[in-house]
Structures are given as structure tokens and as C-alpha cells.
Amino acid sequence: MRPRPGRMFTEDKMGIKHSKFSPRQIKCLELYFSGLLMKDAARAAGYRGASDQALCNQARAVINKYEQSASAKEIFHRAGASEVRIAQLLTSLVQNAKSESAQLKALSIIAKCLGMQREPEEPYGGRK
């Protein structure tokens, strides 16, 4: 059942739990995360402003509300940074890095993710 226009509702499809967003705010977020500029997302979602800056400000307010209501993991997932995507990018960097330093850093990150490399433990008392 679709809510009546102007009514607030709880939306779960973007990882938002127990936060209230209007249908226009949800549309603005969906458009922004699909790659549109803030002003274009706000305009397409139905916001009206006297200038592009006013539209950006309206979209920024919606985005800030979302950022405050969602965890960092949910925000990165929504922006396309899933575990699979990060693994693909790191693997690509290892294969196509222009410098050995960048390649080594990417390999080090992969090794940490796979549990092959651990951060050094601090001695008891925090002194070396």
C-alpha cells in the first residue's frame, strides 16, 4: 500500500530503519545515489528552488538526515562500495598498478582482509 502524498513513512529499502522520510526525500536520495548531481536529484524529486544553490541546499539537508540515520556501512553500500566491489578494485590495482609501491599496498590490504597479515600487538603497558 502506497502512503498518501505528504505522509511520513518508514522506508527500509535503503537500509534506513526506524527513521522517517517523506516519499519526496526517498526519491531524492535514490536519484542522488544513482549518480545525479544534488541539484538534479532535488529537481527530479519535485523540490523547487529559486536557484541551483537552493536546490543543492534542499538535497544536502535530505542527505544529511540520511547520514545521521544510517550507519557508515549502510552509506558505503548504498554508494556502491560493497565487499565484492572493494575486492575487485584491490585485485585490479594489484594487476594494473603503475608502481610497485601501490601494488605492495594493495597486496598488504588484501592479506589483512584474508587474515594472512596481522597488525603488530602492543606489548603489555603500551610501551615498546
**What pLDDT, in 10s, does the model give residues 58-102?**
999 999 988 888 777 777 777 777 888 888 989 999 999 899 999
Residue 94 exposed, middle or buried by CB count within 10 Å (0-12, 13-18, 19+): middle
**In terms of Cα–Cα distance, which of 74, 31, 76, 71 is closest to 55?**
31
pTM of the model: 0.51
Spatial distance between the Cα atoms of 31 and 37, rounded to a whole number of angstroms: 9
Return the domain boundaries, the chain: 9-71, 83-113
Q: Which cell goes with 63? A: 542527505
Rounded to the nearest angstrom, the gap between the alpha carbon of residue 62 and the centroid of all alpha carbons in its chain is 14
**What pLDDT, in 10s, does the model give residues 90-111?**
999 999 989 999 999 999 988 9
